[in-house]
Amino acid sequence: MEKVGLNITQKEFKQLSKWAENVYNTVVVIDYFVASQPEIEECYNLAPVVKHLRCDADLLNAFFIDHEEELEK
């Protein structure tokens, strides 16, 4: 995969990382709620979408965690 260079400051990176972490934490709570309420039809219908969203949020959050060390160099 081709590496794309983005010119962002350390402050911008930290803000994006914080937002990604907030999204991930929110999705974890939503996923738990939806999974624990299968008798509610709307929750049952949303469960696969929320699972997919949680996977994407996890990948995004992991990206920022993995690249945080590179920024500090």
What whole-number distance in Å separates Cα of residue 71 and Cα of residue 51? 30
Q: What is the pLDDT of residue 57?
A: 95
The amino acid sitting at 3 is K
CB 27 within 8 A of CB 49: no
Q: Which domain holds residue 56?
A: 38-68
The amino acid sitting at 62 is A
Tell me how crowded residue 57 is: count the other CB atoms within 10 A of its CB: 20
Q: What is the pLDDT of residue 49?
A: 96
Whether 27 is covered by a domain: the verdict is: no
Whether 11 is covered by a domain: the verdict is: no
Count of the separate structural domains present in the chain: 1
Q: What is the pLDDT of residue 73?
A: 62
Between 65 and 4, the higher pLDDT residue? 65
pLDDT tens-digit profile of 1-41? 456 677 888 899 899 999 999 999 999 999 999 999 999 99
